[in-house]
A and B are shown apart, each in its own frame.
Chain A
Amino acid sequence: MITKRIFGNDRLTLWFLGILFGVLALVAVLNLATTPDSAFHVPTYAVALMGKYLCYAILALSIDLVWGYVGILSLGHGAFFALGGYAMGMYLMRQIGPRGVYGDPILPDFMVFLNWKELPWYWLGFDNFFFAMFMVALVPALLAFVFGYLAFRSRVTGVYLSIITQAMTYALLLAFFRNDMGFGGNNGLTDFKDLLGFNLQTDGMRVTLFVSSGILLAACYLLCRWITLSRFGKVLIAIRDAESRTRFMGYRVEGYKVAAFTLSGIMAGLAGALYVPQVGIINPGEFAPQNSIEAVVWVAVGGRGTLVGAAIGAIVVNLGKTLFTGWLPDLWLFALGGLFVFVTLLMPKGILGTVPQLLEMARNRRAQNAVAEKAPDAPPSADAPKGAGE
């Protein structure tokens, strides 16, 4: 209901994209065109931080597409994010070339350290940017497709699906910790130098990455919006609300789910790929199940089933995390844990579902009061908000 009401008036999309591009432009200008001692200067570390938030927002969007619209609660989306990140990391590693500590022109430092003599086959081609970008999308897509195909075909749903997605990312976590996987083991991939020949540490590159993240967010948002408003999207919502009805209507639900899940995996992978050059490292910790669950909470906080809400939730929660861990690091987990409980118990529709509802209630009350002053017996408004519809 809420989703419909929001998409019914598209001012939200305009506002969202307007503010997004406004911030992108403003930050870019304030970082590049002002001197560090200026009062308006946006420091580069803040640019990288905001770039990170934008990548998280894309991840949140990808989760919302499957959770908010198809009802698939994935607790393993961090895996797609991390795989995209690793693919990008492999490209960045190969860009280092002979500038590593050991100076090997081909092998990354950790392989020299492990006494490897040649590049494993799966590292071949990652020196080519376009091949690497293709892999950034393909690897998460393949995993999402195969996993989704197997799971949805055998009709694993609900919490069972959530649990096996968690097991999936957990298995990958363990796997990437192993040195002989060839992805740097515990330390992951780091010490990146440049991207497409441009030094990663320059302000210009930082701003470019930040703006790219913003543009990717906008693109993913528009894609998701188009999909969810199409008839395909309506089928997705139908599946979410009454799966077997949809089946008995002749829709092969598996196909829809696999398609949405795969697309979602690709989006998460792209987000991871932009994330890695901005934080400068990718390690197995990104596969930790807790990361994936945290990302789900961003969506819940922002408003499940509202695309703008997912993005806002990711940004708000991570901003809170940055501030909180700065002030009171010990209390952050209390705050985050409390947020999980608070949102699920008291704010099941998230910020974007609750705020308009509150506004409307306030408006109704004002209108009622106005009416009541004229005619004390006026019936209560028929527009009173309905329950969650469980």
Chain B
Amino acid sequence: MMRSLFLRCLRPLAAPVLAAVMAAAFVLAGLMAAAPAARADAAGDALALFASKSYDDIEKGIADLAASGHPQAIDILSALGDRRLHVAGDAIVFEDAAGTWHDALTGAALDGEPAGAKAVRANNRIRRAVDAALGQLTLMSADAGKRYDAALSVFKSRDQASLPLVRSALETEQDGKVKRALQQALAALTLYGDADETAKLEAIDVIADMGNQDALATLVGVPEPTPAMAEAISSAQDAIESSLAIWSGVQSVYYGISLGSVLLLAAIGLAITFGVMGVINMAHGEMVMIGAYTTFMVQEVIRNSAPFLFDYSLAIALPLAFLVAGAVGVAIERGIIRFLYGRPLETLLATFGLSLVLQQAVRTIFGPTNREVGNPSWMSGAFDLGGLTLTYNRMWIIVFAFVVLAILMVVLRRTAFGLQMRAVTQNRRMAGSMGIRTNWVDSLTFGLGSGVAGIAGVALSQIDNVSPNLGQGYIIDSFMVVVFGGVGNLWGTLVGALTLGITNKLLEPVAGAVLGKIIVLVALVLFIQRKPRGLFPQKGRAVER
């Protein structure tokens, strides 16, 4: 967490290469603190051996370097295997895969190829030594992540030569996750090696427990299975396939909830302006867009003057986006909408015109292309849950959508403003005669809806392109959600958004993304015709306004 925070802050300032080097230095510093200083000397001695003309010396150098714990030992050894390791005078240098030259001892980047660099000799014996050392280094690496990756690659390559290494790695492995991966790699090696039937049957069990696509591929390809093995494989295959089907269903539902939360965010402001006030704001999508551009602006300022704040950029953008979009909303209400109350169709047209103006204004100011809004570190990356890979940005957006919904519910139900708002929408004249300033409540309600759209824009900037057309993509969907859920009902909006999101994602694997969306739209149009007032309609005389 700390390290990547550091990286995040640097990223806007430095070229990626520089960042990588700094990261390496950082890692190095960390390791230096932990490891005895002697190690550095050991590495230096080992590297010196590479300048020798004798293959024996070089082979010893390989073993010593692997044992030295030099943080870039892997890079250096791979360079040796590919003849990218050079001797330049007294120094040992290497060219990394990207073509940058480094000093082997310190890892520091060099300005191009040093004069007189000569490749370190390598024959097949040396290459074997390099491979063995590399396998060992990775399986024995100090970094659990590297060990895990190495175990996975053994699992996939099923290279019998790694068998002893895997065995010895298993004996010392402490990390549970890596240990499991090693056991699985061992099982794969056993299955594809010449072990007896009992061992192979056990191996099948181990692999079957993995329950993923890789396990399936491994089991399917087992050479010359005995009848007992074939039976075990086929039942394992069935089990894996059904578990995969379940997980893919779960995954679709998760994606559906994720899409639903996006729809919810986009629609929730509309649920206030349209649902509570009955105002058709076709410029609602543009309020979302304004929120997204506010985020962009905040990040620009942070990048230029306070990069260490980058991880807080969204937290800073949220209130600003609310205020900016809310202020624009109040201005729209005061300038246009209040003259059109009771004329919904005219409101629709005027606000549509306004959406064109806002889009063009943003296009003129920020240009027509996408602007980059970065993900703070806590928004990037992914984690595994069962058979699912969940990205942090989607997960936080789901959480965020629900938080926004909850806050709005509290505002509407528990605050004086919410009470006044409901009073005005239910009986304007009565509310007015009780001393509520109805004009003021109208403006603020509209501002609230617009402000919520603005904070939706902050969230959507994390997963969508920030362009002048951002809002357009959401407007029809948002109206659909509100109308589907039932006007004037936040719960309806929630259920509507989730239903639409999940239905969409469940249809996608079957019908494809576009056709799935068309089906949902057509179904919605038909649904609205059957239940014109949505899932959770308001009933009674209040409806007949």
Contacts and interface: CB of A to CB of B under 8 A. Distances in A.
Interface stretch (B97-105, B219-227, B244-252, B512-520): B512-520
A156 B524 CA distance: 13
A160 interface: yes
B345 interface: yes
B28 interface: no
Given A154-B530, A337-B360, A341-B354, A73 B521 contact: no
A154 B346 contact: no
A319 interface: no
A351 to B, nearest CB: 16
A256 interface: no
A150 B526 contact: yes
B476 interface: yes
A78 interface: no
A334 interface: yes
A389 to B, nearest CB: 11
A167 B357 contact: no
B13 interface: no
Interface residues of A, number: 43
B364 A73 contact: no
Contact of B514 (A177, A293, A296, A300): A177
A73 B518 contact: no
Contact of A293 (B346, B352, B526): B352
Contacts of A338: 353, 357
Contacts of A336: 353, 356
Interface stretch (A115-123, A124-132, A168-176, A203-211): A168-176
Contact of A345 (B339, B476, B525): B339
Nearest to A156: B532
A162 B348 contact: yes
A254 to B, nearest CB: 12
A270 interface: no
Nearest to B528: A164
Contacts of B346: 344, 348
A175 to B, nearest CB: 5
A345 B532 contact: no
B350 A160 contact: no
A11 B175 CA distance: 93
B509 interface: no
Given A73-B348, A178-B514, A333-B356, A163 B521 contact: no
Contacts of A341: 336, 350, 353-354, 357
Interface string A80-117: 00000000000000000000000000000000000000
Interface in A338-354: 338-341, 343-345, 348
Interface string B302-339: 00000000000000000000000000000000001001
Contacts of A153: 529
A73 B345 contact: yes
A44 interface: no
A150 B529 CA distance: 6
A178 B517 CA distance: 12
Contacts, number: 119
Contact of A170 (B339, B347, B361, B521): B521
B530 A339 contact: no
Contacts of A390: 342-343
B203 interface: no
Nearest to A75: B348
Contacts of B528: 156, 160, 164
B359 interface: yes
Contacts of B353: 297, 336-341, 344
A261 B532 CA distance: 19
Interface in B119-162: none
A160 B530 CA distance: 13
Contact of A154 (B280, B358, B518, B529): B529
A337 B357 contact: yes
B190 to A, nearest CB: 47
25 contacts: A155-B532, A158-B345, A159-B280, A159-B348, A162-B348, A163-B479, A164-B524, A164-B528, A166-B476, A167-B525, A168-B525, A171-B525, A177-B514, A289-B476, A293-B349, A297-B353, A330-B363, A333-B359, A334-B356, A334-B361, A338-B357, A339-B353, A340-B349, A340-B350, A341-B350
Interface of B: 280, 336, 339-340, 342-350, 352-361, 363-364, 476, 479-480, 483, 514-515, 517-518, 521-522, 524-526, 528-530, 532
Given A341-B353, A341-B354, A345-B340, 20 more contacts: A147-B525, A150-B529, A154-B532, A158-B345, A162-B345, A163-B479, A164-B528, A167-B524, A170-B476, A174-B518, A293-B349, A330-B364, A333-B356, A336-B353, A338-B357, A340-B353, A341-B350, A341-B357, A344-B346, A345-B350
